[in-house]
Amino acid sequence: MSEKHLKPQETKELKKVLKPIHLWAIAVGLVISGDYYGFSYGFATGGPVSFLVAFIPVTIMYVTFLFCYTELATSIPHAGGPSAYARKAMGPFAGFMTGFSVLIAFLVSPVAVAITTGALVNYLIPAIPAMWATVGFFCFFVLINLFGIKSSSVLELVVTIVSLVGLVVYAAVAAPHFEASNFFTDPAFTNGFAGVAGAMTFAMWFYFAIDGAAMQAEEMQNPRKDIPKGYIAAIVTLFITSLIAIFLPAGIADYKVVAQYDYPLAISLEMALGVDSMWPKIIAVVALFSMVASFSAIVLAFSRQTFAMGRTGYLPPLFARLNKNGCPTYGLLVPATFALALAMTGQTALMVTISVFAALIMYTIVIITTFVLRKKEPDMKRPFKVAYPIVPVIALITVLILFACVLVYNIAVLKWVLAVYAVAIVYYFLFGRKTLRPLDEEFNLD
C-alpha cells in the first residue's frame, strides 16, 4: 500500500482554544435536543415502565463506553476521534470503517434535528411552512460554523445553558401535576420484552452523539487533562436531564398521546395545563435553543471528522484545507450539502435507524480498540485509565445486547445498512487506501 504526504497547506493544525467548560457544552449540546424531541416514540413500544427499563442498560453501555473512549481520547488527542484510535490499533481499514461509521451517524443526526426544528417553528408560527423553516435553520447554522471554533463554542455554551434552564423550568411546572398511575400503568409492560427491546433505540437519544465532542481534542488547550473533566461532567448532566424527560411527560399526560408527537415536553404540558397556558409555548421556544445546541455541535463534529479523514488520506485532501478562521471549509460545506439533500428525501425514520446501526458499529470497534491497545501498547501514556478489563468487558457486553435488540426490532433496515457499508468498502479499496498519511506523522500531533 503506497502512502503519500499531503501538501503543507492541507495539513494545517486546528487552533487550540477550548477549555473543559467548552467540551462540556459541546458534549451536552450534542445530545440535549434528545431531551426535547424524538424520544417520545419510546413510550409507544411498551409503555413508560418499559422505556425506563430500557434506559438502564443503555446508560450502563454509554457510561462504560465513554470511560473507554476517554482513555483513548486522552492518549490519542486527534481530530479523527475513533477513526484515529482504530487505525492506530488495527490498521487503516479499521480506521476507515470507523470514521465512515462516525460520518454516517453524524450526517443523519442534523437531518432529524432540522426537520423537527421546522415542525416546532410551524407549531409556534403556523404561517411559516415547516420545510422552509427546516432549510433556513440548516443553512444559517452551517454558515455560522465557517467563523471558526471559538465563535461556535461560545454559541454552543450559551444555547446549551438556555436548554438546561428550560428543562429545569419544565420540571418545576410539570412536577406538581405528576400522577404515578399515569407512569406506572397496569400492566407495566404492555408489550413484554419486545417493548423493552424496541424502546432501546429511542433511549439512545438521551446520549446519542456524545462521542462527537472528542473530535475537538486537537482544539483543546490541554486535552489530556481537560477531556475527562468535560466528559464526566457531561455524562452526569445528561443522566439527570434524561430522568426528567422519561418521568414527567408520561407522568402528567396520557403517554399514548404524547408518543404521537415529536415535541413531547410541550405537548404534555399542553395536555396537563390546557391549550390556553403559556408554558407549552415557552417550552417550545426553549426547545428551539436545544435544536441549535445539538445541530451546531453535530456540525462541528462531522466537519472535524471529515477534516481528519481528508488529512489522513481516506478522503480527498481538499477536505483538510482550513480557512483563515481555522474552519475546514470543504469539510463543513460538502457533508452539510449532502445532509440537506437527505433532509429533502423525507425518509428520516429510515436514515435515523441506519445512523443508530452506524453508531453501534463504531462503539463496538472503539471498545475492541481499548482491548487491542492495552495488549499491543501497554506502555502507551494514558492520562485517564479505566478499570481494566472490567469496564471494557461491561461496555462490550452491553453494546452487543443493545445491538441485538436494535437489530431484532429493525431487521427490515438491515439490507440498507449492508448496502451503505458495501459502497464504503468498494470506495476504500478503489480510492481510500491509496494516499494515506504515514502513521508516524499522523500521530505526532502534540
Amino acid at residue number 374:
R
Q: What is the pLDDT of residue 10?
A: 44
Q: How do residues 25-38 score in pLDDT, each as one tens digit?
A: 888 988 888 898 87
User: What is the value of pTM for the model shown?
Assistant: 0.85
341 within a domain of the structure (yes/no): yes
Which one has a higher pLDDT value, 215 or 335? 335
315 within a domain of the structure (yes/no): yes
Cell numbers 415535541: residue:
263
Average pLDDT over the chain reads 86
Asked if residue 116 lies in contact with residue 293, where contact means CB atoms within 8 angstroms, the answer is no
15 within a domain of the structure (yes/no): no
Whole-number Å distance between alpha carbons of 83 and 336: 20
9 within a domain of the structure (yes/no): no
12 within a domain of the structure (yes/no): no
3 within a domain of the structure (yes/no): no
Q: What is the pLDDT of residue 41?
A: 85
Backbone phi and psi for residue 322, each to the nearest 5 degrees, phi listed first: -105, 145
| Average pLDDT for 347-375 | 86
Domain total in the chain = 1
| Average pLDDT for 403-432 | 89
Q: How do residues 238-281 score in pLDDT, each as one tens digit?
A: 999 999 999 999 999 999 999 988 789 999 999 999 988 999 99
Q: How do residues 273-314 score in pLDDT, each as one tens digit?
A: 998 899 999 998 898 888 888 888 888 888 888 988 998 899
Asked if residue 73 lies in contact with residue 214, where contact means CB atoms within 8 angstroms, the answer is yes
Give the closest residue to 321 by CA, choosing from 9, 81, 15: 9
Whole-number Å distance between alpha carbons of 170 and 10: 47
272 within a domain of the structure (yes/no): yes
Residue 398, all three cell numbers: 452491553
User: Is residue 85 scored above 60 in pLDDT?
Assistant: yes
N-to-C CA span, the chain: 27
Confidence of residue 12 (pLDDT cuts 50, 70, 90): low
Residue 171, all three cell numbers: 420540571
Q: Which domain holds residue 193?
A: 20-442
- Using left for φ > 0, alpha for ψ between -120 and 50, and beta otherwise, residue 313 falls in left
Residue 172, all three cell numbers: 418545576
Q: What is the pLDDT of residue 323?
A: 84
User: Is residue 3 scored above 70 in pLDDT?
Assistant: no
Whole-number Å distance between alpha carbons of 7 and 320: 10
179 within a domain of the structure (yes/no): yes
CATH number of the domain to which 402 belongs: 1.20.1740.10
